[in-house]
Amino acid sequence: MSATGSSRPQIGILAVQGAVSEHEAALADVGARTCRVRTADDIAGIDGLVIPGGESTTIGVVAGGSGLLAAVRERVDAGMPVLGTCAGMIMLADTVAGGGTQPLVGGMEIVVRRNAFGRQIHSFEADVDVPAVGAPPMRAIFIRAPWIEDVGPSVEVLASIAGHPVVARDATRIVAAFHPELTDDRRLHRLFVDGVRARAEGLQQEEDTVVGSQ
């Protein structure tokens, strides 16, 4: 059952590969319920989705083959909020720069570059100023991270490092090049879950209006 209208929305975490349990803990901390999404059927009852980091090619091939990717695309295109971190950001992009063809959810007007900080730089940490979540800057862990090379008019850049956007959003999607689930700073998860709640309440009001007018 969907938790639409609930202050404890049900957030699915794409559990094909990658950092799932850390997102579960972060989402629980900000008052959401969670479930793991492995099949297209698991999509039906969720109010929002997290696509975690991992390896975007693996996530795309596995989820593409099972029909899960198409089911995610359908819900996200219909307005379901989604948070994509690292490989999850790549999965939501319309275009991967210099990339061949890898299966994506797509739909967000961003061009991303995989392993953009250099393949030799496996991981690093940086303080990233994200005004949308307030001060202080977020301590961000980047692991073979992408960055955003270009954005379309529907996209708002929320943070950059060295001139490269690393956090962005549009009407339904929030993406981060780093791993917010690996620190105990919950502000990005809170921003996402607040958006899910706002949408769920809007849908509930629409439903009440329809029922009320019958």
- Which residues would be at the binding site for ligand GLN (CB under 6 A)? 53-56, 86-87, 90, 114-115, 143-144
Active-site residue flag, 149:
no
**Of 22, 23, 24, 86, catalytic:** 86
Q: What is the closest distance, in whole angstroms, from the C-beta atom of residue 119 to ligand GLN in the complex?
A: 9
**DSSP-assigned letters across all residues of 51-77:** E-SS-HHHHHHHHHHTTHHHHHHHHHH
Q: What is the nearest approach in angstroms of ligand GLN to the Cβ of residue 194?
A: 24
- For ligand GLN, the closer of residues 143 and 155 by Cβ is 143
Of 197, 185, 138, 193, give the one whose Cα is nearest residue 22. Answer: 185
When the beta carbons of 50 and 200 are compared against ligand GLN, the nearer one is 50
Neighbours of 210 (CB within 10 A): 9
Half-sphere exposure of residue 211, counting CA atoms within 13 Å on the CB side?
Answer: 6
At closest approach, how far in Å is the CB of 19 from ligand GLN? 8
Catalytic residue chosen out of the listed positions 22, 23, 24, 181: 181
DSSP 108: E
Under DSSP, the state recorded for 87 is: H
Residue 55 or 129 having the CB closest to ligand GLN = 55
SS3 111: strand
Catalytic residue among 22, 23, 24, 179: 179
Looking at the Cβ atoms of 34 and 56, the one nearer to ligand GLN is 56
- Of residues 140, 142, 145, 154, the one with CA closest to residue 113: 145
- The least CB distance from residue 123 to ligand GLN, in Å, is 8
Query: Among 6, 11, 5, 48, which Cα is nearest to 27's?
Result: 11
Asked if 74 is an active-site residue, the reply is no
Q: How far apart are CA 115 and CA 119, in angstroms?
A: 6
Is there a catalytic annotation at residue 181? yes
Catalytic residues, by residue number, are 86, 179, 181
